[in-house]
Chains A and B, each alone.
Chain A
């Protein structure tokens, strides 16, 4: 009978069992169980109850507002992210490292502060408040504020996906395109974009998930006006505080569902385009 040797990096059976058990236990307790609770609480009065909670005008308006904010914030961040990644990867300039660190800033700043910044700038008592009031422009407690706060917190997603990818790809193909007579724009469209499209899609996905799910920053600038400035996460809180559990959990389920769809798409992209996404390793 062949004797089984233990590999040098292999731990004893009990250590393995402990580690795997700990991980599974943690995931079950902190991730799966809440997910089950959210869905079961939403359905405690049946599908009809959950559906009527979602069809309620305030809920519909929250869903619409969330989609609208994401529809504005995500494309803007795509433009910003591609420009920033392009600048960092393809040009040399002073302060490049500083720029890269600044792009990461929203990750290290509390979202509440992000919201507060805009209140301090655009709010009634803020810096530009009086001027804006004179021109009758509403930013805080209105859609522009929600978009600004969302932009701030989702700022790094696209850029951070693309920078390592584009740095890794270098400038060779762009130089080739230019030497073959391509203009800057057609170089971007025909060479750069095809090379980054999967990384870009991946970044957009993460950016979108965060844009729709953001609570803290949006909460500060929203003013919680039902049916007007409440996004889905804010609506969940309002309903919950009103003891409308079915409604709160129904909207929460919708958000959770969105997260699951994002996760599925993300996993699919990772599986299908592993090589291209390999440059991205921080999420």
Chain B
């Protein structure tokens, strides 16, 4: 049941977002898509979730032509960068949404939905907050509601777009460990997008370093650290020797910004 991505190409107008990306995500792996903004990592994630379609290339999941499966039938649990929680629904209604919109014959009973929502609230450690509205929660809590909502549909994979991007450093560290533990418990194939290499290395089994629509290197964190394959990877991971100090009266500006 691995996810096989083959030669994906995607353009937005004149901007090439993906220029032929291929990688295989083994079942149950936790994979990070790492790269600067504009590297194509979010586009790749959105293609996996069915929210974008590539111009060329293929994606196979198990025996399925994954691109031919419409987004609503993929059961790919997608966690959005800004969570995209339904503002007008309570936390419990948000989490139960995916179950309550199922066609009548597949839909669990009202009581069953409530029970599953309670279980998920416990899983994401938000017991008792089901009646609140998203606006009444902290950033970290919203993030966990978004995750619970994605897990409610019994997803076949978990796709997370900058899962900690909007959180402060302390909450980010806490949630990171918690998410890794959850991944180990559920064993779901998970892909997450990040521009933070520390985060990628701390969480992922495999890291795909992307740049300018191409896959630069796809390896375990250990291999990446030990032998970066390109100047970009070395530089992005901060492994390159620091640039020769310039002696001048001018203050030395950082050569690149890492958000």
Write the residues of chain A forming the contact surface with B, with a CB cutoff of 8 angstroms.
172-173, 175-183, 186, 190-191, 194-195
B80 proximal to A (CB < 8 A): yes
Main secondary structure on chain A at its contact with chain B? helix
Residues of B within 8 A of A191 (CB): 86
Task: Among A177, A179, A194, point to the contact of B49 (Cβ < 8 A).
Answer: A179
State whether B101 touches A190 (Cβ < 8 A). Answer: yes
The CA-CA distance from A191 to B89 in the complex, in Å, is: 9
Residues of chain B contacted by A181 (CB below 8 angstroms):
72-73, 75, 98, 101-102, 153
A186 CA to B78 CA, complexed, in Å: 19
Contacts of B76 in A (CB 8 A): 179
**Interface 0/1 of B72-104, CB less than 8 Å to A:** 111111101010111110000000011001100
In the complex, what residue of chain B is closest to A174 when comparing beta carbons? B84
B84 touches A178 (CB 8 A): no
- Known contacts A179-B51, A179-B76, A181-B153, A186 near B101 by CB under 8 Å: yes
Which residues in A have their C-beta under 8 angstroms from that of B101? 177, 180-183, 186, 190
Task: Tell me which residues across on chain A come within 8 A of B75, comparing CB atoms.
Answer: 181
Q: Closest A-chain residue to B77, C-beta based? A: A179
Highest count of chain A CB atoms <10 Å: which of B78, B88, B101: B101
In the bound assembly, the distance between CA atoms of A232 and B56 in angstroms comes to: 61
- The minimal Cβ–Cβ distance linking B123 to chain A, given in whole angstroms, is 17
Q: Is there contact, CB below 8 Å, between A175 and B97?
A: no
In Å, the complex CA distance between A106 and B98 comes to 42
A-B contact pairs, 27 of them (CB 8 A): A172-B80, A172-B84, A173-B86, A175-B78, A175-B80, A176-B78, A176-B80, A177-B86, A177-B101, A178-B50, A178-B72, A179-B51, A179-B72, A179-B74, A179-B77, A179-B78, A179-B150, A180-B97, A181-B72, A181-B102, A182-B101, A186-B101, A190-B86, A191-B86, A194-B86, A195-B87, A195-B88
Given contacts A182-B97, A190-B86, 5 further A-B contacts (CB under 8 A): A176-B84, A179-B72, A179-B74, A179-B77, A190-B97
Say which residue of A173, A180, A195 sits within 8 Å of B153 (CB atoms): A180
Docked CA distance A182–B80 (Å) = 16
Q: B126 near A: Cβ within 8 Å? A: no
* Residues in chain B near residue A194, CB distance under 8 A: 86, 88
B149: which of A178, A180, A183 is its contact (CB, 8 Å)? A180
Bound: A225/B85 CA distance, A: 55
Q: Chain A residues near B82 (CB, 8 Å)?
A: 172
